[in-house]
Amino acid sequence: MHRLKFKSDEFQRMLTHMMKHDRKIPYVDETTDDYGLWLVKDDGIYVMSPSAERDKDGDGVHVIYAKGYDNEQPDIWDKTYAVSRDDFAEFIPLAKKQVQRMMESCELEIGLSETQLEIVA
């Protein structure tokens, strides 16, 4: 199981945006009332607000990269490929208590394997 660790004061911004907008399920035209974030693997591995109304950050979308998985790493393709051979976006559900803890601690850990998903916040 791969352990993806996220730590950023920007979680407060991201979670506030998530709570104020409809939350979209990736790849389908559906929304959910559940709290959560998108876990994305493409040029790096990161989380982002799951709303159709994107949280803009300059010219791009506001994201928080997993520690060691930002797109500036020289071996990023190999590292992300070890997690998954395919690019993906996955809705990661969060309980209200997890959101509260993340607002205070600014930390999230996701355990990820082919068959399991573990969320620690």
Q: Let me know if domain 2-120 sits in CATH 1.25.40.
A: no
Return d(Cα 19, Cα 22) in angstroms, integer: 8
Q: How many CB atoms lie within 10 A of CB 71?
A: 14
Q: Is the pTM value of this prediction over 0.85?
A: yes
Tens of pLDDT along 101-120? Answer: 999 999 999 999 888 999 99
Residues in the chain: 121
Tens of pLDDT along 81-100? Answer: 999 999 999 999 999 999 99
Domain ranges in the chain are: 2-120
Q: Is 63 helix (H, G, I), strand (E, B) or coil?
A: strand
Tens of pLDDT along 52-61? Answer: 889 988 888 9
- Mean pLDDT (whole number) for 60-85: 94
Query: Of 49, 56, 30, which is closest to residue 94 (Cα–Cα)?
Result: 49
Phi, psi of 54 (to 5 degrees): -65, 145
